């Protein structure tokens, strides 16, 4: 068997090797698009950080906002009502059983 000396970093040096011309164009366009979007997002983050607005958020959108607390309170009321209904049914069942004895 013959061994060919291959550069292990070759695929990183030329990531488009083995692709057709159309595929190369598509890959290049897509990578440029992704890079533009990443750069734009990083610029926005840098801008927010520089202005000091990266930590401020609308309290109604945060998990501790009014709507979140209202929703949690409603869920808790429903849970308590369901628990009270189950307890009432248990008591009624116990009263029926004791009445039959």
Q: In this structure, are residues 11 and 17 in contact, taking their beta carbons and an 8 Å threshold?
A: yes
* pTM score: 0.36
Distances, alpha carbon 32 to alpha carbons 15, 25, 27, 28, in Å: 14, 11, 8, 6
pLDDT at residue number 86: 95
In tens, the pLDDT along 74-95 reads: 999 999 999 999 999 999 999 9
In tens, the pLDDT along 24-74 reads: 788 888 889 999 999 999 998 888 878 776 555 555 555 666 777 888 899
């Amino acid at each position: 068997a013959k061994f060919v000396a291959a550069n292990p970093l070759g695929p990183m040096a030329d990531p488009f090797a083995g692709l057709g011309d159309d595929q190369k164009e598509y890959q290049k366009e897509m990578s440029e698009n992704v890079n533009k979007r990443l750069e734009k997002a990083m610029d926005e983050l840098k801008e927010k950080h520089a202005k000091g607005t990266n930590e401020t958020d609308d309290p109604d959108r945060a998990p501790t906002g009014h709507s979140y607390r209202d929703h949690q309170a409603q869920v808790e009321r429903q849970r308590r009502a369901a628990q009270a209904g189950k307890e009432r049914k248990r008591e009624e069942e116990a009263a029926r059983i004791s009445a039959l004895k």
